[in-house]
Amino acid sequence: MGHDPLLEALQATSKAVERVLDPLLAVPEGNEKRVVEAMRYSVFSGGKRLRPFLVLSSAELFDVARPRALRVAAAIECVHCYSLIHDDLPAMDDDDLRRGKPTVHKQFDEATAILAGDALLTLAFEILADPETHSDPKVRVELISALAKASGHQGMVGGQMLDIYAENTSDWDERSVCRLQQMKTGALISFAAEAGAIMGHATEKARHSLQAYARGLGLAFQIADDLLDVEGSEEAVGKAVGKDADSGKATLVSLMGVERARQQAEMLSDQAIEHLSGFDNKASLLRAVAHFAVHRSS
Amino acid sequence: MGHDPLLEALQATSKAVERVLDPLLAVPEGNEKRVVEAMRYSVFSGGKRLRPFLVLSSAELFDVARPRALRVAAAIECVHCYSLIHDDLPAMDDDDLRRGKPTVHKQFDEATAILAGDALLTLAFEILADPETHSDPKVRVELISALAKASGHQGMVGGQMLDIYAENTSDWDERSVCRLQQMKTGALISFAAEAGAIMGHATEKARHSLQAYARGLGLAFQIADDLLDVEGSEEAVGKAVGKDADSGKATLVSLMGVERARQQAEMLSDQAIEHLSGFDNKASLLRAVAHFAVHRSS
C-alpha cells in the first residue's frame, strides 16, 4: 500500500482538501451549529476524493499553484457531498449507510440533512467566488459557470431525476443509461478534470483532451461501481450492495451482463488513457487513476 | 388598484422577471424534464416578487441597465423559490399549500421537489456568472459571493436551521428571534437591496444606507407575516394560517403581543424609510414598499 504512488497521492489529496475545508466549516456558537456539524460529518467522512484528485492532477499539468487548486478541489468535494446527502434521503434512494457510517439523515435527521446539502452546494460557489481561489475574476466566473452547468438540471440534478425515472420503468437501453450516467456523475467528473485547464489558461486542445479523458473515466468508474454492487460485499464497499438488482433498476451491468460490462469498462479506461497522450510523464497519475477505476474493490 | 404606482411596479416586475426566466427554464425533451416542470411550477406561481422588485429599484438608483438588473432579479427569485420548496417539505414545515396552490412536493413528489430546489439554487449562480448579467467579471463574482453568503449556512440556511430549533424549544427571547429572522429572510432581502449598488459601483455610504433600509424592511415584513398568521384568513393569505400558534412556535408576535408587534413593525418601516433620505425622488417606490410591507392583507 505505502509504495503505490496513486494511493499515496489520493491520501495526500484527502488530507490537503480537509485542511482547506476545516476553517471554511468553523462551527458557530449559535444553535444553527447543527447544520454545520452535519456538513462536517459529511465532508470529513472519508471517501476516495476522486474529484479533488482530478482537479489537483489537471492543475499540475498547467503549473497552477497548489493552494489555488486545493480550493477548487474543496469546492467540488462540497458539491459531491451535497449530492450524496440528498441522494441518500428517504424520498430519494433511501440509504442508511454511506462509506461504512450512518448517512447524514440517519445520524442527524431529514431536515438537517436537506439543509446541510443546500449549504454545501452554496458553500462551493462561495469558495470559487473568493479572490483566494484565483486572482483573475474572469477565471473565477468561468469556474462557477462550468460548475453550475455540470451540477444543475442539465447535469447532475437532471441525471438524478433520470435515475429516479429509471427505477420506475423497464424501457431502458444502453444508450439511455449512458446518457443518464454522463449527466449524473460524468458531468461533475469532467468539470473536475477541466478545472485545472481553466485555472491554467490551457489551450482548447488540451482542454478537449481532458474532457474526453474524463468522459471515459467517469463511465468506466460508474460501470465498476455497478459491478461492485453486483459482486462486492457490503463490508468492503461500505454501503448496501445488491440494491440495483433488488429494485430491478437498469444499469449497464444488468443490460450487458457482467462479462461484457467488465470488458466495456476496461476499454473505456484504455481509451481515457489514450486521450492523455499529449501530456507526457506529467499525466502519469491521471493514467494510474483510470487504471485504478476499473481494478478496485471498493 | 390600477392607479397605485407601487402595485403597478410590482406587477410589471413580476412579468419582466418571468420573461427572463422562461427561456432559462426551457423544458428539455428527455425524461429529466420533470424536474424542469417542477422548477417552472414554482417560479411561475405568482408571489409578490418583493426581492426582484428591490433589485430593480436599487439598480435604478444607480442607473444600471434594466436588462442586467432583471437577470439578477431572476437569480434572486430562483433562490427564494428554492428556499420555499425545501421549507415546505414534509421533513421541514410540512406545508400543503403555497400561494393558494399545492406545494411542489404535493403537485409532483418529494424527490422531484428536493431536486427542483437544488436545481433552482444552482441556476441562480449560473445566471449570475453569465456575461449577459454584467460585462465586468469582478461585479459578477461580487454578486455571487454576496448571494452565497446571504443564502448559505451563515445566512438563510442557518436561519432555517434555527427556525426548526425554535419549534422544539421554549427558550426564546426577542433578540434570538430577531437574529433568526435576520438570517432566515433578512439576509436575502438585504442582498436584493444591495445588488443594485454592487452593479452600479455605488459608494460605500450608499451601499450601507441600502443595507440599513433592507434590515428594517425585512424585519417589518416578517412581523407583518406573523401578524397575518395570527389574524389573516387562509383564503386571503394563500397558505395555512394559525400554524405558529398551533405549534407553540415563538415569533415576535407571540413574544410581544399583537399590539406591540404592530407598533414595532411600523417603527421599523419608518426607520427604513429614513435610511433612504440621501436618495431623493428616485427612491419613492422603495419608500412605498416599506409602507406597503406593514399595511398589506396577504
Is there a contact between B129 and A148 if contact means CB atoms under 8 Å apart?
Answer: yes
Which residues of chain B lie closer than 8 angstroms to A151, CB-CB? Answer: 122
pLDDT tens track for B59-117? 999 999 999 999 999 999 999 999 999 999 999 999 999 988 999 999 999 999 999 99
Which residues of chain B lie closer than 8 angstroms to A119, CB-CB? Answer: 152-153, 157-158
Instruction: Look at chain B and count its residues.
Output: 298
The domain ranges of chain A are: 5-293
Per-residue pLDDT of chain B (298 residues; tens, 9 = 90+): 457 889 999 999 999 999 999 999 999 999 999 999 999 999 999 888 999 999 999 999 999 999 999 999 999 999 999 999 999 999 999 999 998 899 999 999 999 999 999 999 999 999 999 999 999 999 999 999 999 999 999 999 999 999 998 887 777 889 999 999 999 999 999 999 999 999 999 999 999 999 999 999 999 999 998 999 888 766 666 666 667 666 677 788 989 999 999 999 999 999 999 999 999 899 999 999 999 999 887 7
Q: By CA distance, what is A36's nearest residue in B?
A: B153
Q: Residue B118: its pLDDT value, please? A: 98
Q: Residue B1: its pLDDT value, please? A: 47
Q: Measure B14 CA to nearest chain A CA, in Å.
A: 23
Q: By CA distance, what is A146's nearest residue in B?
A: B126
Residues B74 and B20 sit within 8 Å (Cβ to Cβ): yes
For residue A214 the three cell numbers come to 474524463
Q: Which of B86, B138, B183 sits opposite A114 (nearest CB)?
A: B86
Residues B293 and B264 sit within 8 Å (Cβ to Cβ): no
Q: Among 3.40.50.300, 1.10.600.10, 1.20.1440.230, 2.40.50.140, name the CATH number for the domain at A5-293.
A: 1.10.600.10
Q: Which of B109, B122, B161 sits opposite A152 (nearest CB)?
A: B122
| Residues of chain A scoring pLDDT < 70 | 1-2, 233-242, 244-247
Q: Residue B99: its pLDDT value, please? A: 86
Residues B197 and B210 sit within 8 Å (Cβ to Cβ): yes
Residues B182 and B156 sit within 8 Å (Cβ to Cβ): no
Beta bridge partners of A272: none
Which residues of chain B lie closer than 8 angstroms to A126, CB-CB? Answer: 145, 148-149, 152
Which residues of chain B lie closer than 8 angstroms to A178, CB-CB? Answer: none
Number of other residues whose CB lies within 10 A of the CB of residue A132: 10
Q: Does the interface ipTM go beyond 0.90? A: yes
Q: Residue B8: its pLDDT value, please? A: 93
For residue B121 the three cell numbers come to 439554487
Q: Residue A16: its pLDDT value, please? A: 97
